[in-house]
Chain A
Amino acid sequence: MSELDNQLSLAIHGKPTAAVTYNRTASLKKMRFRENVLAYTFLAPSLFLFAIFLFYPILKSVYLSLHSTDPTGQVAAYVGLDNFKELFSSGLFWNGMKVTAMFSLLTVPTSILLALLLAALTHNLRWGKRGFQFAFSLPLVLAVGTSSIIWKFLFHPSLGMLNYFLGLAGVAPIPWLVSPEWALLSVSLMTVWMNLGFNYIILSSGLQGIPDELYESAKIDGAGAVTMFRIITMPLLSPTLFFVVLVSIISAFQSFGQINILTSGGPMDSTSVFVFSIFQESFINFRFGAGSTQALMLFLVILLLTYIQFKWVERKVHYQ
Chain B
Amino acid sequence: MTGFRFKHGMVLSTAILMVALAGCNNSSDASGSNGSTSSPSAGSNSTNAEKPKDDVKKPVTITWWHSMSGTNEKAVDKIVTDFNASQSDVQVQAIYQGTYDESLNKLKASIGSNSGPDLIQTYEIGSKFMIDSKMITPVQTFIDKDGFELSQLEPNITRYYTIDGKLNAMPFNTSNPILYYNKDAFKEAGLDPEKPPKTYEEFEQAAKALSKNGKPGASIAIYGWFMEQFFANQNADYVNNGNGRDSAATESLVNSEAGVKTLEWWKRMLDEGAVSNLGRKTADTNSAFAAGQIAMTLDSTAGLRNIVESVGGKFEVGTGFLPKPASADKGGVVVGGASLYIMNSKPEEQQKATWAFIQYLASPEVQAEWSVNTGYFPITKAAYDQQVLKDNMVKYPQFQTAVDQLHASTESTATSGAVMGVFPEARQLVEGGIEAALNGQKQPKQALDEVAQQITKKIADYNKTLK
Contacts and interface: CB of A to CB of B under 8 A. Distances in A.
Nearest to B112: A74
Nearest to A52: B24
Query: Which of A42, A70, A268 has the most CB atoms of chain B within a 10 A radius of its CB?
Result: A268
Contacts of A74: 111
Contact of A73 (B108, B280, B432, B436): B108
Nearest to B105: A283
A149 B205 CA distance: 36
B435 A286 contact: no
Contact of B465 (A46, A69, A269): A69
A151 to B, nearest CB: 14
Given A178-B279, A267-B435, A70 B288 contact: no
Nearest to A287: B461
A68 B280 contact: no
Contacts of A159: 287-288, 291, 293
Contact of B133 (A71, A76, A178): A71
B422 to A, nearest CB: 7
Interface in B259-295: 276-280, 284, 287-288, 291, 293-294
A273 interface: no
Contact of B464 (A45, A68, A264, A267): A68
B439 A71 contact: no
Interface string A152-176: 0000111100000000000000010
Interface residues of A, number: 33
Contacts of B142: none
A177 B279 CA distance: 7
A46 B12 CA distance: 13
Interface string A175-187: 1011110000000
A240 B5 CA distance: 22
Interface string A286-308: 11000000000000000000000
Nearest to B432: A268
B242 to A, nearest CB: 21
Interface in A50-99: 68-74, 76-77
B264 to A, nearest CB: 18
B278 A72 contact: no
Nearest to A180: B439
B432 A178 contact: no
A280 interface: yes
A49 B284 contact: no
B167 interface: no
Given A68-B461, A69-B465, A268-B432, A157 B108 contact: no
B104 to A, nearest CB: 8
A175 B439 CA distance: 11
B152 interface: no
Range class of the B interface residue count: 35 or more
Interface string B423-467: 011001001100110010100000000000000001001101111
B17 interface: yes
A143 interface: no
A69 B129 CA distance: 13
B467 A76 contact: yes
B122 to A, nearest CB: 12
Query: Which of A71, A72, A77, A269 has the most CB atoms of chain B within a 10 A radius of its CB?
Result: A71
Contacts of A267: 222, 279-280, 432, 435, 439
Nearest to B14: A45
Nearest to B427: A284
B465 A158 contact: no
A311 B278 CA distance: 46
B101 A268 contact: no
Contacts of A158: 276, 278, 284, 287-288, 291, 293-294
B20 A49 contact: yes
13 contacts: A45-B13, A49-B20, A70-B466, A76-B464, A77-B465, A157-B279, A159-B291, A178-B277, A179-B277, A266-B432, A267-B432, A268-B435, A285-B425
Interface of A: 42, 45-46, 49, 68-74, 76-77, 156-159, 175, 177-180, 264, 266-269, 280, 283-287
